[in-house]
Structure 1
Amino acid sequence: MTENATETVEVWEPWELVLTGAEVGNPFLDVDLRARLELGERVVEVGGFADGASRHLVRAVFDEPGGWTYRTTSNVAALDGIEGSVEVVAGERPGPVRVDGFHFRTADGARYRPVGTTAYAWIHQSDDLRAQTLETLASTPFTKLRMTVFPKWYPYNEQEPPRHAFPVAADGGWDLQRFDVSFFRALDDRVAELAALGVQADVILLHPYDRWGYARLDPLTEERYLRYVIRRLAAWPHVWWSLANGFDLMPGKTDADWERIAAIVAEEDPWGHLTSIHHCLRFYDQSRPWITHVSAQRIDRYRTAENVDAWREQWGKPVVVDECGYEGDIEHGWGNLTAQELVRRAWEGAVRGGYVGHGETYRSPDEVLWWSKGGRLRGDSAPRLAFLDEIVGSAPGGAIDPLPSEWDLPVGGVAGTFLLAYFGGGRSSFRTFVLPEGTWRAEVIDTWNMTVTAVPGEHAGSVRVDLPAREFMAVRLTAVGGAADGRAREATDSAGA
């Protein structure tokens, strides 16, 4: 029988078909359930899954309006041949994020810029701490959150989670033939909470930081897990897939294993969510067609964001530096950056046409560090990353690419209309810019103090820009009457407010 099946939904609104009453020995192994969705000649096949002993679900999302129909197929008679229709109407949901050249747009065509952060194990914390995390996200600029499905065992993460993906077997080990539905329902709830905030969920499917055996699942159990979690979450438009965090720290897996895993994800996700694979010491082959964008980690104690333009050229894909290092004060080199250094790296990556993410690792007596457990932010980088995003968003089209520049001053922008030069650690007292054809306005940006100061007048040929001889300055040049002119002035007004 069907229960609470939604009959009318909006485009990109998750839809769920609930089927109850079919009891079998082990619903996770013994039931094969699929649904065929049709709109005219279009056909979309999706897999169903067990959500309890006698409860099965099929989840989908519809990418165009119209009268869709569905029919289930199953090896269990009570679940087979169930038919119905769904009226899909136009709405205002933006839909999933898609690659747009070296950048991103949502399915409705709007520009999307990932302002990312990391709170790996936030879903495995107490109710109060999770609520704090959501409050923090609601008040910060972040539009993407990296999070693991499985719990994490690592410095500042050494605690038992409230629940696990598998139930305990009679011998005290894991019953790998079944899933603990309460674990995955909690995962559903966390993903839904991020959707309500407009935050993309960058879901890390596998990782090596483990004491429970999740990193060493046999291939068959791992495949069942992957199919199960993809079927549960793929109907959410705001989900991204990260096959692994630190794939190269899992020595039991070969590149052939990762290709197998990628094929499973693609097979179970008919909507083609963004997919990446994160590294530690060596990049995976980012040219692989299933990789939609580069998810990069620092590769050097100092130099990472400075490589963004080279990585774009090498792989022809958007570059998201998910880990450039974290603002904090712990003993590890990856987690003791000043806020100034993290913001500097973000600007360095931005003018090279990429997106550099945030993380925070300040020590705390209760060992609640944002990067691992979420909670409250204590650092100073978040508002400055919001300011950076505002400046980049003032460019025509809301994105910038690397442009030809002198060796000591990287410049990004939109050729002929918008130029953004970043001085980083340099402390120039002035700089003379040779301008492209036309008339230009110039502005001095203090990226740390978040101010924009106009250089008087309009300029042609060249312009000398006086600077305060301190670090972290930038200059924005905007063509007068160009597409960016009004937007640049608007951003200046709001930034200086």
Structure 2
Amino acid sequence: MKSITHLIAFILLFSSLGFSQSSVEVWDRFEVSLVGPEAGNPFDDVTISAEFTNGAVKKTVNGFYDGKGKYKVRFMPDRTGKWTYRTISKTKALNAKSGSFDCVAATGNNHGPVQVADTFHFKYADGKRYYPFGTTIYAMTHQPKELEETTLQTLKENPFNKVRLGVFPKYYSNVENEPLYYPFEKLEETKGANGKVKFKWDFAKFNPEFFAHLEERIDDLKDLGIEADIIIFHPYDKGHWGFDSLGMNNDLRYIRYLTARLSSFRNVWWSLANEFDYVKTKPRDAWDVYTKAVVANDPYKHLCSIHNGSVYYDNWKPEYSHVSIQNGSALEDFGRAVLLRDVFFRPMVYDEVCYEGDLPQRWGHLRGEEMVEAFWQGIIAGTYVTHGETYKNESNTVFWAKGGKLVGSSPARIGFLRNIVEAAPGPLELADPWKDHHTATAGNGYYLVYFGKQMNAEWVFNLPKKAGPKPGQKFKVEVIDTWDMTIRKIPDVFEMNTPEPYRIFDKDRKTVRLPMKPYLALRITPTDQ
């Protein structure tokens, strides 16, 4: 009996001192778990943070209350070697707890968080290029388990490497179900005479189970190589839950809690809002307060943006790493997509360009060809595009809202484009943005020429002088059918002549024969032949 008593005492002591890993990979998640007070409201009454040290590097990280007397501090180390930590709290049981862990080199698909690179593009922390080919599943984490698992399997089978999803559930057309979990402690649930359910919440107390479920799905996305673009606020509540009208104090409490829980996830991006200007309960100047709170409470400075409805926000402000835009018209023709990028001087992600589907709303009935062309127009202009699908699938759900399976024709073609982009020697830019909106270059003599809806029987080989091809330089050409997903090599070799004012032609004015079809492109690369 004594031995059992001693064992229990040891376990209790071990728990009070906390639990953490002995080693983690760089950019992985290290967690300290401690036992502390449960009385009152620990979410407000108790604070905890920790200072992590590696040589001369020190980082202070906020912790959070995880319910049932558990307090956690999570940390994402950004360099290898030995890290030590010491907790900081006014609560004695949580203060001055110390320890260490070894941070080892990354393995497998761990490339670290995505960062801005070369002004308009992205890289992982380890230097590997990242090209966002995203999709949209707003209420992905608020569905029955079986549907969420189907969605993850669909993502595994498709080419998308970024998903836009909301923290809060959504009450909107095609997504009006009650979620499995709610973000706040529920005080009351009543049904009115009209059959509508009314909720009363304690906005000062969070539901850790809700956030743990969200975290599980973010980790699932990470395992699939997918970035989680987390939408913090949205306007699609209609007073059903009241999560869009918490008031500034509750909004800031929520931001502090969310960032404490999620900042250590390497695949997280912050999106302050979807269609911020449609959230009528928050004045425009409140978004500066919220954005600064997110950035201040994220020690790793994950990518951060804000998404518009009808009115653009001040995306040039220093807190925003890139621009998340709703504007389908910018990708309907040549030369438009680059204009907003040049205004905001940030990486440009057209996160909503309307959706492939058959909904009656004008934003929900793009043909697959239109969605694929939007991606090509964006890529040629040195910008990026996000997909969404609004067909009803076999689960009787709309992928853009709840997930499930994809049934549209665009995802395979988007994957085909992704393979082409990732095989290029670098990110694409318009070769001569003032004079040629069809030709992009990735440097090193690599060009993509996109024709869009235009149908041509032949194309006279020529390149923009500004892109730098030299007289005598030789090139080979491949004809890309972006819809049929074929690549055909042209047997001719093309040799550059002396430059004319803005163009350089083949010395014999050779042409490339083309089928009379829309949505063709040319890949032009140097050759020694």
1:310-369, Cα deviation, whole Å (9 max, x unpaired): 122112211111111111000111110111110011101110011111110013586400
Give the corresponding residue for 2:379.
350
Which whole-Å deviations, capped at 9, do the CAs of 1:58-102 have from their partners, x for residues lacking one? 011100012111111112110111111121122222100010121
Q: What is the deviation of 1:425?
A: 0.7
Tell me whether 1:91 sits opposite 2:106 in the alignment.
yes
Which residue, 436, 441, 452 being the options, matches 1:424? Answer: 452
2:441 match? 413
Task: Report if aligned partners of 1:301, 1:333 keep a CA contact under 8 Å in 2.
Answer: no
**Which of these residues, 514, 518, 526, is aligned with residue 467 of structure 1?**
514
- 2:314 is aligned with 1:285: yes
Q: What does residue 128 of structure 1 align with?
A: 146
Aligned mates of 1:32, 1:227 — CA distance in 2? 11
Alpha-carbon distance in structure 2 between the residues aligned to 1:415 and 1:95: 26
AA paired with 1:144? K
C-alpha contact 1:207 1:247 (8 A) present in aligned 2: yes
Q: Report the counterpart of residue 177 of structure 1 in structure 2.
A: 204
Letter in 2 for 1:195: K
**Alignment pair present for 1:198 and 2:225:** yes
After TM superposition, the score normalised by the length of structure 2 is 0.88
The structural deviation recorded for 1:11 is 0.7
Conservation of the 8 A alpha-carbon contact between 1:117 and 1:142: yes
Give the match for residue 487 of structure 2: 452
In the alignment, structure 1 residue 26 sits paired with structure 2 residue 41: yes
Q: Say if 2:395 and 2:404, in contact at 8 Å, map to a contact too.
A: no
2:431 match:
403
Residue aligned with 2:206, SS: coil
1:291-440 correspondence to structure 2 within 5 Å: 291-298=320-327, 300=329, 303=332, 306-363=335-392, 367-397=396-426, 399-404=427-432, 410-415=438-443, 417-435=445-463, 436-437=469-470, 438-440=473-475
Secondary structure of the residue aligned to 2:512 is: strand
Matching residue of 1:63: 78
In structure 2, the CA distance between the partners of 1:21 and 1:408, relative to structure 1 (3 Å rule), is closer
Q: Which residue of 1 aligns with 2:170?
A: 152
Larger Rg: 2
Q: Residue 259 of structure 1 aligns with which residue?
A: 288
Whole-Å separation in 1 of the counterparts to 2:395 and 2:295: 40
Q: 295-304 vs 343-352, which deviates more? A: 295-304
Distance change >3 Å, CA 212–CA 306, structure 1 → 2: farther
1:440 is displaced (CA, Å) by: 0.5
Which of 213, 216, 222 is the equivalent residue of 2:251? 222
1:228-267 to 2 correspondences below 5 Å? 228-267=257-296
Tell me, yes or no, if structure 1 residue 139 matches structure 2 residue 134: no
8 Å contact from structure 2 (residues 381, 437) kept in 1: no
Letter in 1 for 2:136: T
Contact 2:328/2:352, CA 8 A, preserved across alignment: no
8 Å contact from structure 1 (residues 24, 53) kept in 2: no
Question: What is the alpha-carbon root mean square deviation over aligned residues?
Answer: 1.8
Report the identity percentage. 39
1:465 and 1:62, CA in 2 relative to 1: closer, same or farther beyond 3 A?
A: same
AA of the residue aligned to 1:178: K
Q: Distance in 1 between matches of 2:438 and 2:421?
A: 15
Alignment of 1:478 with 2:493, yes or no, is: no
Aligned AA for 2:172? Y
Does the CA contact (< 8 Å) of 1:148 and 1:203 recur in 2? yes
Matched position secondary structure for 1:456: coil
- CA–CA distance in 1 between the matches of 2:343 and 2:283? 23
Deviation at 1:469, TM superposition (A): 1.0
1:428-481 deviations in whole A, cap 9, x for unaligned? 111112243210001111000011111112111224111111110011111225
Q: Which amino acid aligns with 1:325?
A: C
What's the offset of the Cα at 1:170?
A: 5.3
Please say if residues 332 and 377 of structure 2, whose CA atoms lie closer than 8 Å, have aligned partners that are also in contact: no
Following superposition, the deviation at residue 407 of structure 1 comes to 6.1
**AA in 1 matched with 2:99:** G
AA in 2 matched with 1:446: D
Distance 1:45 1:380 in 2: 47
Kindly indicate whether the alpha-carbon contact (under 8 Å) linking 2:373 and 2:452 is maintained by their aligned counterparts in 1. Answer: yes
Supply the distance in 1 between the matched residues of 2:333 and 2:475 (Cα, whole angstroms). 32
Q: Is the 8 A contact 2:228 2:267 kept in 1?
A: yes
Give yes or no for contact 1:305–1:346 (8 Å, CA) kept in 2: no
- Structure 2's unaligned 5+ residue stretches are 1-15, 190-198, 464-468, 497-505
SS of structure 2 residue aligned to 1:313? helix
Residue of structure 2 in register with 1:493 after alignment: none
Choose 65-74 or 303-312, whichever is displaced more: 303-312
Question: Structure 2 CA distance, aligned partners of 1:478 and 1:148?
Answer: 42
| Structure 2: distance between partners of 1:415 and 1:185 | 45
Kindly provide the amino acid, as one letter, of the partner of residue 340 in structure 2: W
